[in-house]
Amino acid sequence: MTSRYDAVVFDLDGTLIDTESLCNAAGVEACAALGLPVSGEFFESLAGIDDRTRVQLIGEHVGTAVDLSAFLAAWDRLCIERFAQGIPLKPGAIELLEQIAAAGIPLALATSSRRGPAEDKLRMAGLARHFRTVVTFDDVAAPKPAPDAYLLAVDRLGVPPARALAFEDSETGARAAHAAGLTVVQVPDLHPTQGAHAHHVASSLLEGAAMAGLLPV
């Protein structure tokens, strides 16, 4: 397999692993435990947003300040309970990662998750070995939709942004990757997209890879 790209950077939740619905349910349960009336629909609207901003938006939504530490502790615990039953992968995820690795193209991860939860999810899903570097919320000054995570990921790989391909599911993530100068493949998860920040919009990872010229058609 030949490629026009020198690096590929993936988002995690909703892109490689099918965790958004699990985490949303856990988030609603964590809110309920803290006396915060938050619906599943509202929590779904926060897809792709970092944890700190998510908590701020929950506070604005319910009209009261939210204890960040208490919420994150409850949310992490409930997510891990669900993940322990198995983390489902997105269709084609393993096949695509293995084909990219076989072509000798370095892989990075750029996620809005904090490092601890991100590493837990990678380990439990069996994906950690594929990535040369992992950039999390804890590594950047400004999370997605700022371009910082993607800029740091390609910098660590020693590749110019214009020579890198990004895979994202959310508008927030696609906006971040586009702002960083990467070619963007968006594979929507919970919400449809108009593709305003994507070069290619696909129904699956493998379809997106072919559309972007990463894989032969």
Q: Catalytic site residue 11? A: yes
Specify the pLDDT at position 216. Answer: 62
- What confidence tier does 2 reach under pLDDT thresholds 50, 70, 90? low
* Residue 3 clears pLDDT 90, i.e. is over it: no
* Average pLDDT score over residue span 150-160: 99
Question: What tokens does 47 get?
Answer: 């897809």
Fold (CATH) for 7-18+88-211: Rossmann fold (3.40.50)
Catalytic entry in 11, 50, 76, 139: 11
Catalytic entry in 6, 13, 139, 148: 13
**Cis bond before residue 145 (omega within 30° of 0):** yes
8 Å CB contact between 184 and 197: yes
* Residue 100 clears pLDDT 80, i.e. is over it: yes
Whole-number average pLDDT of the chain: 91
Q: Which of 172, 190, 170 is nearest to 41 (CA)?
A: 190
The better pLDDT of the pair 103, 54 is held by: 103
Which value, in Å, is the radius of gyration of the alpha carbons in the chain?
17
Q: pLDDT tens digits, residue range 136-146?
A: 999 999 999 99
Specify the pLDDT at position 55. Answer: 80
Specify the pLDDT at position 17. Answer: 96
Specify the pLDDT at position 139. Answer: 98
* Average pLDDT score over residue span 12-18: 95
- What confidence tier does 132 reach under pLDDT thresholds 50, 70, 90? very high
* Residue 159 clears pLDDT 90, i.e. is over it: yes
Q: Catalytic site residue 13? A: yes
Burial 13-50 (b: 16+ CB within 10 A, else e): bbbbbbbbbbbbebbbbbbeebebebeeebbbebbbbb
Q: pLDDT tens digits, residue range 46-57?
A: 877 887 888 888
The better pLDDT of the pair 67, 97 is held by: 97
